[in-house]
């Protein structure tokens, strides 16, 4: 299993041909208290850059964009009941969605953990 990171502060954990996607700890901290998460339906086909989910904090709504192409195979419906999980465990239990990787080449455009850490520190 390999984990990648996007410049939009998403993590993408790839296991075989399924990628689990969520937002990073840095992202949840920037958003503040999450009060609602809108997730896509299973079967929805996403192209890189499409709006995949919306996360609402007390302050504002923020889009989560698909970091790679793929078809949604599962959404984390538990977040509908407990959106605050995104603040508590963003890189674990509060994953947003799983997609079937449509174009593995796009993963090479993403950062690894060290690369993302350096990216955040430079912000």
Partner 1 sequence: MADAATESDLKQTPLHDLHVELGARMVPFSGYSMPVQYKAGIMAEHLHTRASAGLFDVSHMGQAVLIGPDHETTARALEALTPSNFVELGLGRQRYTVLLNDDGGIIDDLMVTRPLSPAEDGKLMLVVNAARKDVDYAHFRAKLPDNVKLQVVEDRALIAVQGPEAVAAVAAHAPQAADLAFMSAAPMEFDGIDCHIARAGYTGEDGVEMSVPAGAAEAIARALLADDRVEAIGLGARDSLRLEAGLCLYGHDIDETTSPVEGAITFCMQKRRREEGGFPGADRIQSELKDGPSRVRVGLKLDGKAPAREGAEIALPDGDVIGTLTSGGFAPTVGGPIAMGYVPAAYAAQGTSLELIVRNRRLPATVADMPFVPNRYYRKPKT
Return the number of other C-beta atoms located less than 10 Å from residue 101's C-beta.
19
Minimum CB distance to partner 1 smaller for 8 or for 38: 38
Closest CA to 86 of 33, 10, 12: 33
Residue 33 C-beta: closest distance to partner 1, Å = 4
Minimum distance from residue 56 beta carbon to partner 1 (Å): 5
User: Which positions lie near partner 1, rule CB under 8 A?
Assistant: 32-33, 35-36, 38, 54, 56-61, 80, 83
Candidates 109, 76, 103, 94; CA nearest to 5 is 109
Supply the minimum distance, in Å, between the C-beta of residue 49 and partner 1.
Answer: 17
Phi-psi group of 35: left, alpha or beta (phi > 0 → left; psi -120 to 50 → alpha; rest → beta): alpha
Q: Which is nearer to partner 1, 61 or 104 (CB)?
A: 61
Helix, coil or strand: residue 80? helix
Q: Which is nearer to partner 1, 17 or 63 (CB)?
A: 63
Closer CB to partner 1, 80 or 118, in the complex = 80
* Minimal distance, residue 53 CB to partner 1, in Å: 11
**Residue 49's CB: how many other CB atoms inside 10 A?**
12
């Amino acid at each position: 299993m390999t984990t990648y990171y996007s410049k939009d502060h998403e993590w993408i954990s790839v296991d075989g041909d399924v990628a689990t996607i969520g937002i990073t700890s840095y992202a949840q901290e920037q958003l503040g208290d999450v009060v609602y998460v809108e997730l896509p339906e299973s079967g929805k086909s996403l192209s890189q850059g499409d709006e995949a989910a919306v996360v609402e904090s007390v302050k504002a709504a923020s889009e989560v964009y698909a970091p790679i192409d793929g078809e949604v195979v599962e959404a984390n419906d538990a977040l509908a009941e407990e959106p605050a999980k995104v603040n508590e465990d963003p890189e674990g239990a509060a994953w947003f969605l799983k997609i079937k990787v449509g174009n593995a080449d796009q993963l090479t455009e993403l950062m690894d953990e060290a690369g993302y850490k350096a990216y955040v520190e430079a912000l």
